[in-house]
Amino acid sequence: MQRCPRAFVLRYGIAACATGHPTGQLLKDSFAIQTPWILMQMSIRETIRDYVEDYQMGLKWSNKLVRIKFNQAFQYRIKDRNSIIAQLQEWEEPEMVFRKVKPEKHLEEIGVERCIKLIQNQSFIRFLNTAIIKSLSFTKSKIIDGIKVYNSPDFLAEKDQERYLIRINLFGYNSIEQINQDAAVFSLGMKDQTIVQYTWKNGGWFVHKTNVSQKEKNSIRRLIHLDSKQMDNILKLVRPKNNMEQVPFADSPRACMHCSVRFLCPAKHGLEEAKSEQMSLMC
Ligand code: SF4
């Protein structure tokens, strides 16, 4: 949404509502296709979650097993991605945009290294050895002030009557303010718990523990409220006829570089040209 209101509308407005229509289905499938880099990150999370579950049952994996499990998860995701692309065959343009790939060796190495470094992290090991850890489902939403919010961390850890919410951040962080803001988001709808974030940055996992104040929670709720209002306003621009004429394009060509639906967007021939055309139509 921040990077492109149009992509947001296509994904959460049209693709979500028009699955019975061929273009709606095409959009849905296209958004399901992730880059191998993202699939590698998703496979790290999946491997760590499996590792923690087995560890809780007394099964400790060797590094060799971590590698096997990661590679299995990654290969499965790549296979799944390729099969979605194969289903798009009747559409010529997506074929040109999405290419079937094989799991790349260097991505496997990166994924395995990150998994092993996390399970060897001293703070992570302390949780594994001293807490009861439960995996949390990130597809489960919470209703915050009437708004459906997906803000689930990865684990809930309980030890010595203390409760911790653990989140594995695979995409780094820009500032401590961002870490604190993310912690406030994860804390919403939860009782007072310490938020523990393991974040990959510059070749290692950084640990941040945050206790979110009520003031910070209130401020993040206000932000969510404003975001949701903005989303509603954008979605209203297309109703009732799914008319995209007034929906703004991305603010930078960088957002278009990896956009899953570029082939369906007027910006495929250049973002600035698409914006000028839109301006002339609206005048
Ligand atoms: S191609 Fe660019 S402008 Fe079009 S939907 Fe994607 S990100 Fe937005």
Instruction: Note the pLDDT tens digit of each residue in 39-74.
Output: 999 999 999 999 999 999 999 999 999 999 999 999
For residue 256, being part of any structural domain is answered with no
> Which protein residue has the closest C-alpha to ligand 1 atom 2?
256
For residue 36, being part of any structural domain is answered with no
- CA-CA distances (angstroms) from residue 177 to 1, 181, 182, 221? 20, 6, 9, 16
Q: How many residues in total does the chain contain?
A: 283
More confident residue, 116 or 230: 116
Q: Closest by alpha carbon to 193, among 227, 167, 170, 168?
A: 167
More confident residue, 16 or 274: 274
pLDDT band of 22, cuts 50, 70, 90: confident
Sequence-distant (≥ 6) Cβ neighbours of residue 197 within 8 angstroms: 166, 167, 168, 169, 179, 182, 183, 207, 208, 210
Tokens of 127: 């949780």
For residue 99, being part of any structural domain is answered with no
C-alpha of residue 6 to centroid of ligand 1, in Å? 6
pLDDT band of 3, cuts 50, 70, 90: confident
More confident residue, 224 or 283: 224
Is-contact 75 103, C-beta < 8 A?
yes
C-alpha of residue 250 to centroid of ligand 1, in Å? 6
pLDDT at 89 over 80: no
More confident residue, 18 or 114: 114
For residue 266, being part of any structural domain is answered with no
For residue 234, being part of any structural domain is answered with yes
Model pLDDT, residue 2: 58
Across-strand partners of 155?
Answer: 135, 166
Say whether 77 sits in a helix, a strand or coil: helix
| Alpha helices per DSSP H over 131-270 | 176-187, 214-236, 253-257
For residue 18, being part of any structural domain is answered with no
d(CA 63, CA 61): 7
Token match 């594995």: residue? 168
What's the pTM?
0.85
Going by their DSSP bridges, the two strands 147-149 and 132-135 should be labelled as: unpaired
For residue 141, being part of any structural domain is answered with yes
DSSP state of 174: S
C-alpha of residue 282 to centroid of ligand 1, in Å? 19
For residue 269, being part of any structural domain is answered with no
More confident residue, 168 or 264: 168
Count the Cβ atoms, other than its own, within 10 Å of residue 183.
23
Instruction: Note the pLDDT tens digit of each residue in 180-209.
Output: 999 999 999 888 789 999 999 999 999 999
Instruction: Note the pLDDT tens digit of each residue in 101-123.
Output: 899 999 999 999 999 999 999 99
Model pLDDT, residue 16: 67
pLDDT band of 258, cuts 50, 70, 90: confident
Structural domain total, the chain = 1
- Ligand 1 pocket test: pick from 8, 9, 262, 273 the residue with the most ligand atoms within 8 Å of its Cβ: 262
Query: Would the CB of 11 count as within 6 Å of ligand 1?
Result: no
User: What average pLDDT does the segment 261-265 reach?
Assistant: 84
The pLDDT > 90 percentage for the chain reads 53
Model pLDDT, residue 160: 87
Query: Would the CB of 4 count as within 6 Å of ligand 1?
Result: yes
What is the domain range of residue 159?
Answer: 133-241
